[in-house]
Amino acid sequence: MTKVLSSTIGYPRIGVKREWKKALEQFWAGKITKSSLSTEMEHLRLHDLQKQKEMGIDLIPVGDFSFYDHVLDTAVMFGFVPKRFQHKGGEVPIETYFDIARGNKESVASEMTKWFNTNYHYIVPELESSEPTLTENRLLHSFLEAKDKVGIVGKPVILGPITFLKLSKGYDKKDFHKLLQKLIPLYINVFKELENAGAEWIQIDEPILTTSISEEEINLFKETYKSIQKGVPSIKILLQTYFEAVEHYTEIISLPVAGIGLDFVHDQGANLESLKKYGFPEDKFLAAGIINGRNIWRSDLDGKLTQLERILSVVEKDRLIVQPSCSLLHVPVTVTTEKEIDAAVKNALAFADEKLEEAIVLAEGLNNGKKAIEAKIKESARGIEILWQSPGRNQKKVQEELKRWDEVEPKRKTHYSIRQQIQQDVFKLPLLPTTTIGSLPQTKLIRQARLKWRRGEWSNGQYEKFIEENISYWIEHQEGIGLDVLVHGEFERNDMVEYFGEKLDGFAFTKYGWVQSYGSRCVKPPIIYGDISLKGSMTVKEISYAQSLTKKPVKGMLTGPITILNWSFVRDDISRFEVTKQIALALKKEIKFLEENRIHMIQVDEPALREGLPLKVEKQKEYLKEAVHAFKLATSSVQDNTQIHTHMCYSDFEKIMDTIDQLDADVISIEAARSHGELISAFEEKAYEKGIGLGVYDIHSPRVPGVEEIKTNIQRALHVLQPKIFWINPDCGLKTRGIEETTNALKNMVEAARQIRKETPSEALVK
């Protein structure tokens, strides 16, 4: 009997209630042993595999589980350990593995950056002059574990060699081909061992194929996969792509592999159009990514079935695999644990488990006919329709206000050069002013207080008094450290997006809707389900209180419209740009409230601005234009004496310097400590004249940098940036750091700035 198969590309590794995170942090804190950590992680892996087996998934991935990051897993498997960690070769100990990711007392961590256009961060492999070698076949361990303990013949998953190298650093680009030729035999060895152990399918992820790649790079793919096919001719290789339509469709479907995985959700119809125009090889499987793996809305099963039937007009039934569009790493585990969310929203949701059930249902519909899944189709349609008709999605006042701004191009009243002098007259800051990014350590005591308040164990008054006590302590503490511009610390905020979502109409919230951002850092994105509007002031109370305690300026702290959008699960019935503008108009009103309360230094953070950047070069210009419009819509109506700051996180900023300039923020800080040199080189090529702070130390690592180390980073920046525009700050918020390490690091930072001011000739300081 011919049968359409179901598959998973990857499954969330964190556990239903973040058991993965808790185990990792207990190990890092020395509270559990390496053996206990291994046991807990094995329990999570086997539980997830068993769940997928019981659901009825045909092709279940193994090797997608990670102790930290799958790119780091690939790097250490092939022996790419930075020399500063003094690894002597062979299998990489778990301690060294974590040191690469988090740093240690002696060595800084490897750089971390965004995984394509998602909110997941990967550890950037440092190849240096390392000779690749197979340290251990971790895929074989995963495969045998699943086979022996769960009774499944899993589908091993590995990051492909070309994508791996493209995402790496520390080598001369002219050596790319040479490195690739050294890697290919190692991949083949891994695959041979898997084949000998009984593996039938191997999934090789090559998402780089959905970016704007060249003919030369396509030729590399032809050469690479020809070599792999020759090395393991009997194994079924599934070449998996996701996040966009593939470039060079006809060449890709001709590669010597058994199957091709395509994204039919984020391709904007291009993959389906190519499929219909150019056909598909009769000897290959098509893994159709039909279920949205990056958002949390229920699928329109009727529409998806119709789309699959179109695909079946080109692809034979026994050659079709139904699956999510990408790994489910980007969505929470299950809706079943959500007991408190509004029913109209909940019934329209689908997390990882529900998405796999949708894939199974669709495969059943193709195998047994539409009538076999008619009840499921009706249930899905009913859940979607109720949300569509809900009052939250039909706020006429919001929609009318948005229309009034359609033809208006927002901009500041005065040029930056004039604003700069006005603001200096107001704030009277020293050269190289020191500050932090916003959040200060959120201790266990603070988290417990918030929990007591949410549970009703504390009254509003008790909680507000507690928050004020923490603000008061840290205002005094920051003054003692010697910082020039202070922050209130954000102790009242659970998350920089969720906090604002709770104060805006149009948002809903989960209890266990966690996803991994980086390492053990999990975030719980709010759900934008309806039209967005401001209920009342969101931040004035705490920031005004902080400002009342000091004569130094205290920054108002807001999260920007693009970041709120990109770090939320967003409604899919209107364009993302329309949603962004709704957020921007709400923030515009909050900024006005702050100004009316004499807060004239306001930071509107956009750490995720580049995160939503399309993978295709030709689509990026429009996205960046929309991002600039939204930021300026929120910020441009301020007075000249109001200094607008913004902050951005790890990304390839050198490629969007024009966009950063167009934001017209008075001061921008960039998270750059792990890649300081690369970013500084961007300013050698393009002058920047507005205020800027390049993070002078890395807060993602628990190590405290010394004064000389920070001075070196400052001096490197001052080679290309004028001292009069340069700010001294850590590279990100300090929420996750301890009080002692934060205090010591900030003291060193302030001392480094003091010494640089003293050592720098006065004529250089005023140039």
Q: Report the binding-site residues for L-homocysteine.
A: 437-439, 490, 605
Contact present, 63 and 143 (Cβ < 8 Å): yes
Report the alpha-carbon angle 584-588-593, nearest 5.
Answer: 145
Helix or strand holding residue 357 (H, E):
helix 352-368
Q: Is the dihedral of CA 180, 183, 188, 191 positive or negative?
A: negative
> What residues form the annotated binding site for Zn(2+)?
647, 649, 671, 732
* DSSP secondary structure of 216-281: HHHHHHHHHHHHHHHHSTTSEEEEE--SSPPSSHHHHHTSSSSEEEEESSTTTTHHHHHHHHH---
- Residue entry with tokens 């009316």: 596
* DSSP secondary structure of 95-160: HHHHHHHH--SSSPPPPEEESTTSS-EEEPPB-TTPPP-----HHHHHHHHHHHHT----EEEEE-
CA–CA gap between residue 649 and residue 670 (Å, rounded): 6
> What residues form the annotated binding site?
18-21, 114, 437-439, 490, 521-522, 567, 605, 611, 647, 649, 671, 732
Report the alpha-carbon angle 632-506-512, nearest 5.
Answer: 110
The catalytic residue among 141, 248, 700, 719 is 700
φ, ψ of residue 343 in degrees (nearest 5): -60, -35
Q: Is the dihedral of CA 23, 103, 110, 98 positive or negative?
A: negative
* DSSP secondary structure of 456-516: TSS-HHHHHHHHHHHHHHHHHHHHHHT-SSB--B-TT-S-TTHHHHTTEEEEE--SS--EE
Active site residue 600: no
* Number of separate helices (H) and strands (E) present in the chain: 28, 21
- Work out whether strand 155-159 and strand 61-62 pair parallel, antiparallel, or are unpaired: parallel
Helix or strand holding residue 352 (H, E):
helix 352-368
- Work out whether strand 515-518 and strand 521-523 pair parallel, antiparallel, or are unpaired: antiparallel
Q: Is the dihedral of CA 507, 562, 572, 262 positive or negative?
A: negative
> What residues form the annotated binding site for 5-methyltetrahydropteroyltri-L-glutamate?
18-21, 114, 521-522, 567, 611
* DSSP secondary structure of 72-93: HHHHHHTT---GGG---SSSPP
Residues acting as catalytic residues = 700
